[in-house]
Amino acid sequence: MPLRPGRCYRHFGTPPYTRLEYIKSIPPVLIPKFDLGNPKGDFDMIVKLVAKESGQIRANALEAARRLSNKYLASSIGEANYHLRIVKYPHHILRENKMMAMAGADRLQDGMRLAFGTPIGRAARVHKNDVIILVRVNKNNVEIAKEALKVASSKLSVPTRIIIEQAKK
């Protein structure tokens, strides 16, 4: 099995850390747009990128997947012929207990005493069979949308699969 990126924060076993009123320095959401392409278009098919197992996806990985898939779709079929949506929102705040690794560092830090950690970023928590990204396209562009989601899945830390559905009228 190949190594996937983001392995330090991929799994979760604790409750989500989302109460922003208690967090002093809130990391910003790095995803500027969640809807791309033509959101008002009338499309026949929905192509979904679905998580195979539970895990966390860092916000910068979601942004990288969004950029890659949007660029692929825009250059292949044009911006008016698809609607790409990032479904998952990075609510969970990631924390890190920073440790110094140099000579004499043991006198400067407390180790695991009061090791709550400081906020370093955000992550979206996904469970098995959750939709991460969806693309609405016409029937003749389904293969291009599948390829765009395949490229996007290479940036995500959880294994994924692609599902094709008929859009409801």
* Residue 139 covered by a domain: yes
Residues 4-32 have pLDDT tens digits of 445 666 777 777 878 888 888 888 888 88
Rounded distance between C-alpha atoms, residue 103 and residue 123, angstroms: 33
Residues 132-159 have pLDDT tens digits of 999 999 999 999 999 999 999 999 989 9
Average pLDDT, the chain: 86
Rounded distance between C-alpha atoms, residue 70 and residue 34, angstroms: 11
Rounded to two decimals, what is the model's pTM?
Answer: 0.84
Confidence of residue 59 (pLDDT cuts 50, 70, 90): very high
Q: In the prediction, which pLDDT does 1 show? A: 46
* Residue 137 covered by a domain: yes
Enclosing domain of residue 45 = 28-96+115-166
* Residue 103 covered by a domain: no
CATH number reported for the structural domain that contains residue 65 in this entry: 3.90.1170.10
Q: How many domains are contained in the chain?
A: 1
Q: In the prediction, which pLDDT does 138 show? A: 95
Q: Count of CB atoms within 10 A of residue 88's CB?
A: 19
